[in-house]
């Protein structure tokens, strides 16, 4: 049996935002059983840096449920945006918030989509620093890490509405709005040392503004899911617009 998939959503998302991705992965050629962590907007709004324990706890419970219901010994984890950081903390063996989740025992493949692994964003600065210091790069050698970044929107202080919004978001994330990325996260913030770092040209961050070109769109999923890339090699692929 193929590993079940656990999806960890991004900041201010709801599980409904990932139903399309889950449905796609459940169909041929993937045929995966998919679980979406039940982290909603209310919980996201209640979290304060550096305390993300409630979200990590939901990830742990979802992984346990996936293994119990399927009988699997390993799962594949997908983290979108801020969900990638939450998932990395769940993998860790050290105590966080009084709990050692040690989720790395149960994960075979770990993919992040538009996750700012390197960030100066004030709302996650302490948590992000802790994750990177405790578990730098592709930390667990038995897990196949893949980090996916979109290259679609150049941030501009004065430009189109999309470019100006990207400028503000990139500036918040890495301190420089004059970057290129997926419209929300600058590309260079997504790279994780030791992972398969993929750059997808034309891909945007989220389903609410780019349903056909975001990371979870069917035409894009085939570019990164079970990517077949050489470990530690950065590759550039192109998504259809």
pLDDT tens track, the chain, 241 positions: 799 999 999 999 999 999 999 999 999 999 999 999 999 999 999 999 999 999 999 999 999 999 999 999 999 999 999 999 999 999 999 999 889 999 999 999 999 999 999 999 999 999 999 999 999 999 999 999 999 999 999 999 999 999 999 999 999 999 999 999 999 999 999 999 999 999 999 999 999 889 999 999 999 999 999 743 333 345 566 554 3
Give the strands of the sheet with 5-8, arranged side by side: 34-36, 5-8, 75-80, 107-113, 144-151, 196-201, 235-238
Q: What region, left, alpha or beta, does residue 110 occupy, with left being phi > 0 and alpha being psi -120 to 50 degrees?
A: beta
Cβ count within 10 A of residue 113: 32
Crossing angle of helices 53-70 and 82-91, in 10° steps, is 70
Structure-token pair, residue 109: 């493949």
Residues with Cβ within 8 Å of residue 86, at least 6 apart in sequence = 8, 39, 52, 55, 56, 59, 79
Which tokens sit at 48? 């304060």
Indicate the pairing of strand 180-181 with strand 153-154: antiparallel
Q: State CA 219 to chain mean position distance.
A: 18
Domains of the chain from N-terminus onward: 5-149+190-238 (3.40.50.1820)
Token pair 């945006």: residue: 81
Residue-wise burial string across 181-210, b where 16 or more C-beta atoms lie within 10 A, e elsewhere: bbbbbbbbbbbbeebbbbbbebbbbbbeeb
């Amino acid at each position: 049996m193929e590993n079940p998939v656990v999806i960890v959503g991004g900041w201010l998302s709801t599980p409904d935002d990932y139903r399309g991705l889950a449905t796609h992965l459940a169909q041929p050629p993937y045929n995966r059983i998919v679980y979406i962590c039940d982290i909603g907007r209310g919980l996201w709004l209640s979290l304060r840096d550096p305390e993300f324990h409630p979200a990590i706890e939901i990830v742990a419970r979802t992984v346990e449920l996936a293994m119990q219901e399927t009988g699997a010994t390993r799962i594949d984890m997908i983290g979108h945006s801020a969900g990638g950081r939450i998932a990395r903390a769940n993998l860790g063996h050290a105590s966080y918030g009084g709990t050692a989740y040690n989720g790395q025992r149960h994960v075979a493949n770990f993919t992040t989509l538009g996750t700012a692994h390197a960030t100066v964003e004030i709302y996650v600065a302490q948590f992000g620093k802790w994750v990177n210091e405790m578990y730098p790069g592709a930390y667990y050698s038995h897990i196949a890490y893949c980090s996916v970044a979109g290259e679609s929107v150049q941030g501009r202080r004065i430009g189109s509405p999309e470019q100006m919004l990207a400028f503000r978001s990139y500036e918040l994330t890495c301190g420089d709005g004059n970057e290129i990325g997926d419209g929300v996260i600058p590309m260079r913030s997504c790279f994780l040392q030791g992972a398969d770092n993929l750059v997808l040209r034309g891909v945007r961050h989220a389903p609410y503004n780019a349903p056909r070109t975001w990371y979870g769109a069917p035409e894009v999923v085939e570019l990164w899911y079970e990517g077949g890339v050489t470990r530690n090699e950065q590759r550039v692929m192109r998504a259809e617009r």
